Amino acid sequence: MDAAPHSNEARTVSASQSEMTELILPNDTNTMGNLLGGRLMHFIDLVGAMAAYRHSRRPVVTASMEHIDFIAPVHIGDLLILKASVNRVFNRSMEVGVKVWVENAMVGVTRHVASAYLTFVAIDEQGRSVPVPPMRIETSEEQRRFEDAGHRREQRRQEQDRKRQNVIEKTRAEQ
Ligand SMILES: CC(C)(COP(=O)(O)OP(=O)(O)OC[C@H]1O[C@@H](n2cnc3c(N)ncnc32)[C@H](O)[C@@H]1OP(=O)(O)O)[C@@H](O)C(=O)NCCC(=O)NCCS
């Protein structure tokens, strides 16, 4: 049976995986008929939020979009397919990975066009961050993503420490 809302029971990755399909129309594109990067980021944010919302069963906010690769252009008339899954749950945040493909429905070809990692934070009715239920890993691929997410978090922490140290040193030098 499904875990009740707000229960702390572990949830599987597959239970929150989310998918979205968009037909690319003129409003989504630049003057060359290519999908705008900002529009693609909007779709990525939406599908990522769906996975985080499903996992946490709480409203979520995007804390960061940390890495995005635009691998190939997307054109008017393409079908954009986005898939999101929770890579790792920390305490009050979740890293979600989003992978994007285009399908040319005329010839039935699908190709990978973008990938991104985002961090979502679950919040309560007052907008305060709240703990997120743990996840249950079921496959070796999920285990690999879980470990990679841990390395990325450690890199972010080191980068934040470095920036903080720079501010301290700059302030000292100005005194
Ligand atoms: C995200 C937000 C709720 C975090 O608030 P906060 O007071 O820093 O919360 P906390 O210190 O309790 O941290 C909560 C979690 O957020 C994570 N977090 C905070 N800022 C983060 C950032 N920039 N990147 C990644 N994670 C972040 C913390 O690591 C923590 O996660 P953890 O418990 O799993 O380690 C707050 O900064 C916010 O509301 N930001 C605006 C969100 C928004 O409007 N997004 C849409 C963009 S327009």
Superfamily of domain 11-136: Hotdog Thioesterase (3.10.129.10)
Measured CA to CA in angstroms, residue 137 lies from 11, 141, 142, 148, 154 at distances of 9, 9, 6, 14, 20
pLDDT of residue 169: 92
Give the tokens for residue 143: 């285990």
Q: How far is CA 77 from the centre of its chain?
A: 25
pLDDT of residue 35: 96
pLDDT digits (tens, 9 = 90+) for 125-163: 999 999 999 999 999 999 999 999 999 999 999 998 999
Ligand 1 atom nearest to CA at 89:
34
Q: What is the C-alpha radius of gyration for the chain, rounded to an integer number of angstroms?
A: 19
Ligand 1 atom nearest to CA at 91:
34
Domain ranges of the chain: 11-136
119 three-class SS: strand
Q: How far apart are CA 99 and CA 142, in angstroms?
A: 14
Residue 128 CA to ligand 1 center (angstroms) comes to 9
Give the tokens for residue 144: 């690999």
pLDDT at 3 over 70: no
Cα angle 159, 162, 168; round to 5:
145
pLDDT of residue 57: 96
Find out whether the beta carbon of 92 lies less than 6 Å from any atom of ligand 1: yes
Tokens 């954009």 belong to which residue?
A: 80
Averaged over 50-77, what is the pLDDT?
Answer: 94
pLDDT digits (tens, 9 = 90+) for 64-114: 998 888 999 999 999 999 999 999 999 999 999 999 999 987 888 899 999
pLDDT at 6 over 80: no
Find out whether the beta carbon of 119 lies less than 6 Å from any atom of ligand 1: yes
